[in-house]
């Protein structure tokens, strides 16, 4: 048992709350709760919309897109609100878990990512208003997943006091990217199947209604019945291509500057070489 565990209040739960209250900086807590406030506002709007077709004016500052539906929008807001508490959730992990070492700046990134995807993208409807919004998100999302894999590998090294060859770390980082992005596409598919949503932007009718029938990659046949039939797959494949490009960009950055393994005094492969 580490010294930290002995000086904190008894029990993992008490220790988790102690870390949540004392470790984050004021600006981090402020920013996290500003992001959460957006999602709470979104939840309030959807609740009023479901209960009353003419809700109070304060809930219509940002009009809810008709194609999303109040119930589906509520689910999206709730899921992403929970995402903004990931760092707090990890504090309840076992002391030996590498998840306990996840840096707080990843919560800053995850809050920002949730805000631009769910609130501004889905709730404010920027996915339909700006065709490049989804493209940029998937590019940076692919890069972010690579960095998450790199961070996890480094955390495991510190927890296990183990040296891991850099090619293995890079391979795991890339694997994390493809795993997370594939799970996300599965989530979108499942959500659309169960809740009859449009997270995959499969509906050509909605796209035409919004006037945004311009995916990154257009179906090979000329516009017509064949083109319409292939429209639904364009969003998923465009997402996967942008995820891959973001992955490649982050991979190149890591190969040039693996920031956790650059300086000998902080390089886990140097610190723990004799343990391997």
Query: Could you read off the pLDDT of 31-77 as tens digits, one per residue?
Result: 999 999 999 998 888 877 765 555 444 444 444 445 456 677 788 88
pLDDT score at 276:
52
pLDDT score at 7:
44
Nearest to 142 by CA among 251, 257, 260, 261: 251
| Dihedral (CA of 10, 13, 19, 22) sign | negative
Token couple for 262 = 């650059």
Provide the residue count of the chain: 276
Dihedral of CA atoms 233, 237, 242, 247 in degrees, nearest 10, equals 150
Q: How confident is the model at residue 173 (pLDDT cuts 50, 70, 90)?
A: very high
Between CA 63 and CA 259 the distance in angstroms is 43
pLDDT score at 211:
55
pLDDT score at 168:
92
For the chain, percent of residues with pLDDT exceeding 90: 27
Q: How confident is the model at residue 244 (pLDDT cuts 50, 70, 90)?
A: very high
Stronger pLDDT, 250 or 191, i.e. the higher one: 250
pLDDT score at 52:
57
Would you say 192 and 202 are in contact if contact means Cβ atoms under 8 Å apart? Answer: yes
Would you say 261 and 166 are in contact if contact means Cβ atoms under 8 Å apart? Answer: yes
Stronger pLDDT, 170 or 4, i.e. the higher one: 170
Helices (H), the chain: 3-7, 12-22, 26-51, 70-83, 86-90, 105-114, 126-129, 132-160, 166-195, 204-210, 225-256, 268-271
CA-based max dimension of the chain: 69
Alpha-carbon distances of 103 from 29, 75, 145, 254, 271, rounded to whole Å: 14, 28, 14, 18, 20
pLDDT above 80 (res 171): yes
pLDDT above 90 (res 96): no
pLDDT above 90 (res 199): no
Between CA 23 and CA 104 the distance in angstroms is 9
Nearest to 18 by CA among 32, 28, 30, 4: 4
Q: What is the pLDDT of residues 210-236, one digit of tens each?
A: 555 555 666 555 656 666 667 667 778
Query: What pTM was computed for the model?
Result: 0.74
Q: How confident is the model at residue 3 (pLDDT cuts 50, 70, 90)?
A: very low
Cβ burial 221-230 (10 Å sphere, 16+ → b, else e): eeeeeebeee
């Amino acid at each position: 048992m580490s010294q930290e565990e002995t000086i904190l209040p008894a029990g993992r739960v008490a220790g988790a709350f102690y870390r949540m209250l004392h470790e984050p900086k004021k600006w981090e807590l402020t920013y996290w709760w500003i992001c959460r406030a957006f999602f709470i506002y979104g939840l309030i709007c959807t609740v009023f919309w479901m209960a009353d077709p003419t809700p109070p004016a304060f809930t219509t500052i940002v009009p809810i897109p008709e194609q999303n539906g109040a119930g589906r929008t509520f689910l999206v807001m709730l899921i992403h609100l929970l995402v903004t508490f990931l760092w707090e959730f990890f504090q309840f992990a076992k002391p030996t878990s590498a998840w306990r070492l996840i840096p707080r700046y990843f919560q800053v990134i995850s809050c920002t990512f949730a805000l631009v995807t769910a609130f501004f993208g889905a709730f404010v409807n920027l996915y339909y208003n700006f065709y490049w919004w989804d493209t940029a998100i998937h590019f940076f999302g692919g890069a972010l997943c690579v960095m998450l894999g790199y961070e996890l590998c480094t955390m495991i090294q510190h927890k296990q006091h183990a040296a891991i060859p850099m090619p293995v770390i890079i391979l795991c980082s890339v694997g994390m990217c493809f795993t997370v992005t594939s799970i996300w596409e599965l989530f979108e598919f499942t959500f659309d199947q169960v809740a009859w949503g449009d997270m995959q932007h499969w509906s050509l009718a909605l796209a035409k209604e919004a006037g945004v029938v311009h995916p990154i990659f257009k179906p090979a046949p000329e516009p017509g019945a064949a083109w319409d039939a292939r429209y639904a797959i364009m969003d998923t494949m465009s997402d996967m291509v942008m995820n891959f490009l973001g992955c490649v960009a982050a991979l190149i950055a890591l190969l040039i500057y693996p920031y956790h393994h650059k300086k000998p005094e902080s390089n886990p492969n140097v610190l723990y070489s004799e343990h391997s």
